[in-house]
Amino acid sequence: MAGIFEIAQAGDRAYFFKLTAADGTVVAVSPLFSSIQGAAAGITAVRENAATGLVVDRSEAPGRKAATSRAGGRAIAPPQVSRRAGSALAGSVAASS
Protein backbone atom coordinates (compact mmCIF):
# COMPACT_ATOMS: atom_id res chain seq x y z
CA MET A 1 0.00 0.00 0.00
CA ALA A 2 1.20 3.51 -0.80
CA GLY A 3 1.73 6.27 1.71
CA ILE A 4 -1.03 8.70 2.58
CA PHE A 5 -0.83 12.50 2.48
CA GLU A 6 -3.14 14.13 5.03
CA ILE A 7 -3.90 17.85 5.24
CA ALA A 8 -4.67 19.14 8.73
CA GLN A 9 -5.38 22.50 10.31
CA ALA A 10 -3.06 24.11 12.85
CA GLY A 11 -4.74 27.09 14.45
CA ASP A 12 -7.25 29.39 12.79
CA ARG A 13 -5.43 30.12 9.53
CA ALA A 14 -2.63 27.60 9.17
CA TYR A 15 -2.52 24.23 7.43
CA PHE A 16 0.09 21.51 7.09
CA PHE A 17 0.36 18.07 5.59
CA LYS A 18 1.96 14.89 6.75
CA LEU A 19 2.99 11.80 4.85
CA THR A 20 2.22 8.57 6.65
CA ALA A 21 3.54 5.15 5.62
CA ALA A 22 1.23 2.16 5.24
CA ASP A 23 2.20 0.96 8.73
CA GLY A 24 1.18 4.29 10.29
CA THR A 25 4.69 5.71 10.68
CA VAL A 26 4.82 9.46 10.05
CA VAL A 27 7.46 9.89 7.35
CA ALA A 28 7.33 13.67 6.86
CA VAL A 29 5.57 16.75 8.21
CA SER A 30 5.41 19.95 6.18
CA PRO A 31 5.91 23.52 7.29
CA LEU A 32 2.77 25.61 7.83
CA PHE A 33 0.82 27.01 4.88
CA SER A 34 -1.68 29.87 4.93
CA SER A 35 -4.27 27.96 2.88
CA ILE A 36 -5.40 24.47 2.02
CA GLN A 37 -4.45 25.23 -1.59
CA GLY A 38 -0.90 26.01 -0.45
CA ALA A 39 -0.70 22.70 1.42
CA ALA A 40 -2.00 20.87 -1.67
CA ALA A 41 0.64 22.62 -3.81
CA GLY A 42 3.27 21.48 -1.29
CA ILE A 43 2.09 17.89 -1.68
CA THR A 44 2.34 18.23 -5.46
CA ALA A 45 5.89 19.56 -5.14
CA VAL A 46 6.90 16.64 -2.91
CA ARG A 47 5.40 14.15 -5.36
CA GLU A 48 7.22 15.71 -8.31
CA ASN A 49 10.62 16.01 -6.63
CA ALA A 50 10.89 13.04 -4.25
CA ALA A 51 11.24 10.28 -6.84
CA THR A 52 13.95 12.11 -8.78
CA GLY A 53 15.81 13.71 -5.88
CA LEU A 54 19.38 12.83 -5.04
CA VAL A 55 20.17 11.22 -1.70
CA VAL A 56 23.18 12.86 -0.05
CA ASP A 57 25.02 10.74 2.52
CA ARG A 58 26.26 12.99 5.31
CA SER A 59 26.84 10.14 7.72
CA GLU A 60 30.18 8.86 8.86
CA ALA A 61 30.77 5.75 6.78
CA PRO A 62 33.59 3.33 7.64
CA GLY A 63 36.89 4.54 6.20
CA ARG A 64 35.95 8.18 5.73
CA LYS A 65 35.29 11.21 7.88
CA ALA A 66 31.84 12.64 8.37
CA ALA A 67 30.85 15.34 5.91
CA THR A 68 29.74 17.74 8.66
CA SER A 69 32.88 19.88 8.42
CA ARG A 70 32.44 20.68 4.73
CA ALA A 71 29.66 21.42 2.32
CA GLY A 72 28.39 18.69 0.08
CA GLY A 73 28.62 15.02 0.75
CA ARG A 74 28.42 11.87 -1.26
CA ALA A 75 25.52 11.83 -3.71
CA ILE A 76 23.74 8.51 -4.07
CA ALA A 77 21.41 7.91 -7.01
CA PRO A 78 17.80 7.34 -5.96
CA PRO A 79 16.29 3.90 -6.50
CA GLN A 80 14.32 3.47 -9.68
CA VAL A 81 10.60 3.89 -9.11
CA SER A 82 8.17 2.36 -11.52
CA ARG A 83 5.48 4.58 -13.02
CA ARG A 84 2.90 2.26 -11.55
CA ALA A 85 4.18 2.76 -7.98
CA GLY A 86 4.26 6.55 -8.44
CA SER A 87 0.72 6.66 -9.75
CA ALA A 88 -0.59 4.86 -6.68
CA LEU A 89 -0.26 8.15 -4.78
CA ALA A 90 -2.39 10.01 -7.31
CA GLY A 91 -5.62 9.64 -5.36
CA SER A 92 -4.24 9.64 -1.84
CA VAL A 93 -4.62 13.30 -0.86
CA ALA A 94 -7.19 13.49 1.91
CA ALA A 95 -8.30 16.61 3.70
CA SER A 96 -9.04 16.00 7.36
CA SER A 97 -11.21 18.28 9.39
Among 4-18, 36-50, 72-86, name the one with the lowest average pLDDT.
72-86
* pLDDT at residue number 75: 60
For 29-63, the pLDDT digits (tens) are: 999 999 999 999 999 999 999 888 888 898 887 76
The answer for residues whose C-beta is within 8 angstroms of residue 21's C-beta and 6 or more apart is: 3, 27
Say if residue 15's pLDDT is above 50.
yes
Q: What's the confidence (pLDDT) of residue 23?
A: 94
In this prediction the pTM is 0.59
Domain boundaries, the chain: 4-57+72-95
Long-range contacts of 13-21 (CB under 8 A, 24+ apart): 15/39, 17/42, 17/43, 19/46
